[in-house]
Chain A
């Protein structure tokens, strides 16, 4: 074999090895992204602050029942407003989770779905996804009042009308982190971890 042929074969082997390594790195990156996702509902730094009173708004659901949001309640129940849209794929993944949360958290929580846009497509969405058990509000002003930037977006208000959590919710873990945070008395799961880390340092 001539030197040129040896060099050619070597180069091919190196290029094959490099492209296999590239594929492995990309796969690892994908796995990493999967793992990063469920860290708890993502809180937004700007806008309404957790711990302050939520804006008081009166809205009507699709069945024309009026709902007062943000007002203090006498029955000691919290309200979760979940902002969704018929065109948002992540919302559809989250709907079964919301249905199971409606049942498992019914002792203390009311869940309200909120959206914005044409009423006819919203009704179609409610029928297709079987959302009859939720009050469904179509209101642009509600989204603006809570400064909803991206969907699916959740707002948790306690019985006193205080905003307990507010953020983007992409998975079951995100949603459940809101309930866990409420149970433990923290604004968000991130606050809990921060407090835990501080306790750890103090000890």
Chain B
């Protein structure tokens, strides 16, 4: 059994993640279409046409997570989406193709795909899996509100910090270290 405070924390955090990912992709759809085609999961032409579907799916998952009746569906489709991304990333890493943008994070981020992104997606999918456990029924009071709100703020900033550290700072530090 999962305490509802933890449940809301996980659901809320991952809903924010999906919503922001979807919005970023929709804001520069042509760019994302090029990235999606670069994953070479589909032939170039259909990939570019279907690219618009992904941000819509992400927004739908984000919304479904927040609404109680559709939460189970949201959790299941969110896990499927996250694992599909992890598979697409690892497939390309195994092919030895690592010189194209990941399409994650902010638009025009310019980060290339790498192995830690696979682990990140599996971690997020596991977190969603925990939220799929049955929740204990207990009244939700002010302290729980504080836990969820505080936890979300910390979760979002901490995720952004780790994301930046692994995506931007660590690769550059590696270049500096290997050339000196």
Q: What is the interface of chain B mostly: helix, strand, loop, or mixed?
A: helix
Q: How far is the CA of A16 from the CA of B146 in the complex (A)?
A: 12
B112 and chain A: residue at smallest CB distance: A89
Shortest Cβ gap from B36 to chain A (Å)? 18
Q: Is B84 an interface residue (CB 8 A)?
A: no
Produce 1/0 per residue, B118-161, CB < 8 A to A. Answer: 00000000000000000000000001001000100110011011
Produce 1/0 per residue, A77-103, CB < 8 A to B. Answer: 000000000011100100000000000
Contact of A87 among B99, B168, B173, B175 (CB under 8 A): B99
Contact of A22 among B158, B173, B176, B180 (CB under 8 A): B158
Q: Is A42 an interface residue (CB 8 A)?
A: yes
B180 contacts which chain A residues (CB < 8 A)?
42
Shortest Cβ gap from A154 to chain B (Å)? 13
Contact of B146 among A9, A19, A23, A89 (CB under 8 A): A9
Are A19 and B179 closer than 8 Å at their CB atoms? no
A87 contacts which chain B residues (CB < 8 A)?
96, 99
Q: Is A47 an interface residue (CB 8 A)?
A: no
Q: Is B108 an interface residue (CB 8 A)?
A: no
With contact pairs A26-B165, A42-B179, A150-B178 given, residues A33 and B172 touching in the complex (Cβ less than 8 Å): yes
Are A23 and B99 closer than 8 Å at their CB atoms? no
Q: Is A58 an interface residue (CB 8 A)?
A: no
B178 contacts which chain A residues (CB < 8 A)?
150
Q: Is B40 an interface residue (CB 8 A)?
A: no
A23 and chain B: residue at smallest CB distance: B161
Instruction: Mark B residues whose CB is within 8 Å of A.
Output: 96, 99, 112, 143, 146, 150, 153-154, 157-158, 160-161, 164-165, 168-169, 172-173, 175-176, 178-180
Are A23 and B169 closer than 8 Å at their CB atoms? no
A19 and chain B: residue at smallest CB distance: B157
Are A23 and B150 closer than 8 Å at their CB atoms? no
5 A-B pairs within 8 Å (CB atoms) are namely: A22-B157, A30-B164, A30-B168, A30-B172, A36-B176
Q: What is the interface of chain A mostly: helix, strand, loop, or mixed?
A: helix
Shortest Cβ gap from B120 to chain A (Å)? 16
Total residues of chain A contacting the partner, CB 8 A: 26
Q: Which of the listed residues A22, A88, A168 has the most CB atoms from chain B within 10 Å of its own CB? A: A22
Q: Is A15 an interface residue (CB 8 A)?
A: yes
For window 108-139 of chain A, which residues contact chain B by CB distance below 8 Å? Answer: none
Q: How far is the CA of A30 from the CA of B106 in the complex (A)?
A: 15
With contact pairs A33-B173, A37-B172, A168-B179 given, residues A15 and B164 touching in the complex (Cβ less than 8 Å): no
A12 contacts which chain B residues (CB < 8 A)?
146, 150
With contact pairs A22-B161, A88-B99 given, residues A29 and B154 touching in the complex (Cβ less than 8 Å): no
Shortest Cβ gap from B44 to chain A (Å)? 14
A88 and chain B: residue at smallest CB distance: B99
